[in-house]
Amino acid sequence: MTQQEAKNYVEGAFQALKDRGWFLKTGLVPTGVTDREIAEFEAESELKLPTLLKAFLKSYRMDFDLWGIIHEVDFDTRPWPISLNTSVKELRINWAVFREIAADYGAAPEQYGHFLPIGMWDSEFLVWDLSRREDQVDAEDWGESWVLRSFPHDEAWDKEFWEEGGEPCAPSFKDLLDWYFYGALIPEFEEENHLKVTYERMNNYDFLWHFYEDRWKEP
């Protein structure tokens, strides 16, 4: 994906989310992130940020948790919350915290150095495994090749956990945008559960945690 293609895709993602009901009060507020800020972080971290992530950082602020419909590794659909970093400052802080926790667990830099935290997966770190190639991702391999992973706070990050590379979350960042911004899995979720997804329901904790109950089903 070229820089322009990435920019267009992210722009479309935010517009799709706005069309679905988000940002109606504030509008889309640019992050103000610059190429220089990103380059400085890349130099400091010795990581090369993917093109689509750079475009996302340079797009719009997102100062809230976002619920979307996801595919779990067993292909069931369900609502799940995330928060995503939309500033280099947030990215740098989470990167430093993640490295500190990994080191506290006795991990070596070669074990954790290629993981880039980009937000939170509910209360867990949402990280991009930069050692995995996106052109080799198979969305149907039960998470084996997925580049987006989670690292729970309540589990020991031991040798086995590092070998597994955390828990799989989404095949790619593009898939994540498709799920959360474009709402790509909503029709499947609605059909499986015989209900309708609305902006109001995606901001209603009662629905989000109890969507399977009959009271939410369409007559």
* Residues 163-209: tens digit of each pLDDT: 889 999 999 999 999 999 999 999 999 999 999 999 999 999 999 99
pLDDT tens-digit profile of 202-214?
999 999 999 999 9
pTM: 0.95
Domains in the chain: how many in total?
1
Residue 178 belongs to domain with CATH number? 3.40.1580.10
Domain with 126, as residue range(s), is: 3-216
Give the pLDDT of residue 143.
Answer: 87
Give the pLDDT of residue 109.
Answer: 93
Cα separation, 191 vs 131, whole angstroms? 36
